[in-house]
Structure 1
Amino acid sequence: MIDLTGKTILVTGATKGIGAEIVRSLHAAGASIVGHYGNDKASADALLAEYPKRLYLIRQDLAKSDGADRLWAETLNLIGKVDVLVNNAGIYVETPLDKTDKWQSGWETNLQVNLRAPADLCRHAIKHFENNGGGIIVNMASRSSHRGDGPDHLAYGAAKGGLMALTKGIARGYGHQGVLAYVLAPGWVRTAMAEDHIAAVGEDKVAEHLPLREVTPPSDVAAMATFLASGLCRHATGSTIDITGADYVR
């Protein structure tokens, strides 16, 4: 049993989908969690009602250029020290080639939320960890980081690829100072976005193309995030862990 008692963990995108499952898993292991959320206050209130102790929620817009800076400052003001950063928040915005406005705005949004905001939080975390005996970063990438994404989501794949490269650089550059950094790269995960696709196509149709014949449950991703947050495998720092049910293998 992983024991995270006494650890404080900042999780972005914490109140829905994979993020909410990560919060549940970390909480079960004894951690105190600062959970970030954007606009969905109903989901935030529901999660807080589920965990009234050892969970604190902060609302911040990571699509704004100073959103990550504000989130980090609010987190430290609230709880004083962070041991683990889990950059889970992400957005999947179209960037169609034939629509100039959507192409430009989509690139800006994808890069800001999926790469720049996590990078800003990583920067704050590294500086914080250097002064507090080290720490752990877990960044949520995607199978798109490896293979790219579809024609209407080129920016998403590029941003997630950048996040993967960023994590590797952090692991190589700051390991000697006790900073560990890992990448999780899920494929199809049963979240609200996947449910929309499943409803449109049919679950059997989706499952027949997956080696395990099922969409990955978010609890699988959460379990791996919790393991990495434990620091039990320090020498895996810099690694990317694919969670795709063998839908994508390297």
Structure 2
Amino acid sequence: MNPFDLSGKTALVTGANTGIGQGIAIGLAKAGANIVAVGRTPADQTQKCIETTGSRCVQIQADLSSTAGLDNMVSDAEAELGPIDILVNNAGTIKRNDALAFTEEDWDTVMDLNLKTLFFLSQCVAKRMVAQSRPGKIINIASMLSFQGGIRVASYTASKSGVAGLTKLLANEWATKRICVNAIAPGYIATNNTAALQADEKRNQEIVGRIPAGRWGQPEDLSGAAVFLASGASDYVHGTVLAVDGGWLAR
């Protein structure tokens, strides 16, 4: 028996239309999972890639900046593909400004999506897992800034530090309910969110120069960690924040 096989499982992945969420969704599909791809914009490319693996994919468009409608979204997902076995809380945003000039609006925008929605969507899915007496896996997407401070990203740093803390808290509370809660902390991954850094020649050189692997990560580099944390291979793994960073934190 392959402990990494996700055949027959259903995974709900937020922010699955591009970047890290897309890479994780495709990776889970390759391992056999059917995917509910949630995003603010259509995930047509993600769906096409998933369907080539033989797994099923349904799209749900949702604005996750608010917690309103989360229960209906999960109900719709279950109506399409059955009970959710795996939740990947990937959707997120970032705002950049000096701390002296950071606005309350930019603070709330990031915290609401990155932390508040993550918690209440996890709660919504976990309630159903418990009510159905089903084991489950919840994977949160943390960050290097769950460990470090960064600069000019006050709300993002606060939110991702919170993600690491919540991951441990939920793991403590839900482990006895057979729900494994863990997180992946990506390093510098080439996505739309990091396009500005990649385009800044000086900053790009500084970043790559510190990464022992000598390159930016790609979204597919996260798929192995996601499959591990979603599968039976990680049934005794609770509350970990797994860095997938090319060695950044070890430098």
Alpha carbons of 1:96 and 1:125: their partners in 2 closer, same or farther (altered >3 Å)?
same
Q: How does 1:65-84 map to 2 (within 5 A)?
A: 65-84=67-86
CA distance in 2, matches of 1:229, 1:30: 11
CA distance in 1, matches of 2:104, 2:250: 32
Give me the identity figure in percent. Answer: 30
Report deviation, 1:205: 5.1
Report deviation, 1:95: 4.8
Q: 3-state DSSP class of the match of 1:172?
A: helix
Aligned pair 1:133/2:95, yes or no? no
After superposition, the C-alpha distances for 1:194-242 in whole angstroms (9 at most, x for unaligned) are 3432222165554222211111222121210011101212222111111
Instruction: Give the count of matched residue pairs.
Output: 244
CA distance in 2, matches of 1:14, 1:188: 18
Match of 1:121 in 2: 121
Q: Is the 8 A contact 2:7 2:32 kept in 1?
A: yes
CA distance in 2, matches of 1:68, 1:116: 12
User: What is the root-mean-square deviation in Å for CA atoms of aligned residues?
Assistant: 1.9
Q: Is the 8 A contact 1:96 1:103 kept in 2?
A: no
Match of 2:223 in 1: 222
CA distance in 2, matches of 1:200, 1:92: 17
Match of 1:18 in 2: 20
CA distance in 1, matches of 2:143, 2:71: 24
Report deviation, 1:245: 1.3
Q: 3-state DSSP class of the match of 1:109?
A: helix
Aligned pair 1:179/2:179, yes or no? yes
After superposition, the C-alpha distances for 1:171-213 in whole angstroms (9 at most, x for unaligned) are 1111111011111111201212334322221655542222111
> Under a length normalisation based on structure 2, what TM-score does the superposition of the two structures give?
0.90
Match of 2:247 in 1: 246
CA distance in 1, matches of 2:62, 2:75: 11
CA distance in 2, matches of 1:103, 1:95: 8
Match of 1:37 in 2: 39
> Under a length normalisation based on structure 1, what TM-score does the superposition of the two structures give?
0.90
CA distance in 1, matches of 2:100, 2:182: 36
Q: How does 1:149-168 map to 2 (within 5 A)?
A: 149-150=150-151, 152-168=152-168
Q: Is the 8 A contact 1:139 1:167 kept in 2?
A: yes
Q: Is the 8 A contact 2:212 2:247 kept in 1?
A: yes
Match of 2:88 in 1: 86
Match of 1:231 in 2: 232
Q: Is the 8 A contact 2:36 2:58 kept in 1?
A: yes
Q: Is the 8 A contact 1:182 1:228 kept in 2?
A: yes
Q: 3-state DSSP class of the match of 1:92?
A: coil
After superposition, the C-alpha distances for 1:30-59 in whole angstroms (9 at most, x for unaligned) are 1111010113x3xx1222233345011100
CA distance in 2, matches of 1:105, 1:51: 36
Letter in 2 for 1:166: L
CA distance in 2, matches of 1:55, 1:132: 25
Letter in 1 for 2:179: V
Q: Is the 8 A contact 2:184 2:241 kept in 1?
A: yes
Match of 2:30 in 1: 28
Report deviation, 1:125: 1.7
Q: Is the 8 A contact 2:106 2:155 kept in 1?
A: yes
Match of 2:46 in 1: 47
Alpha carbons of 1:35 and 1:235: their partners in 2 closer, same or farther (altered >3 Å)?
same
After superposition, the C-alpha distances for 1:85-121 in whole angstroms (9 at most, x for unaligned) are 011111012354344xx51011111111100111011
**Counterpart selection for 1:61 from 38, 60, 63:** 63
Letter in 1 for 2:25: V
Letter in 2 for 1:109: T
Residue segments in structure 1 that go unaligned for 5+ positions in a row: none
Q: Is the 8 A contact 1:67 1:117 kept in 2?
A: no
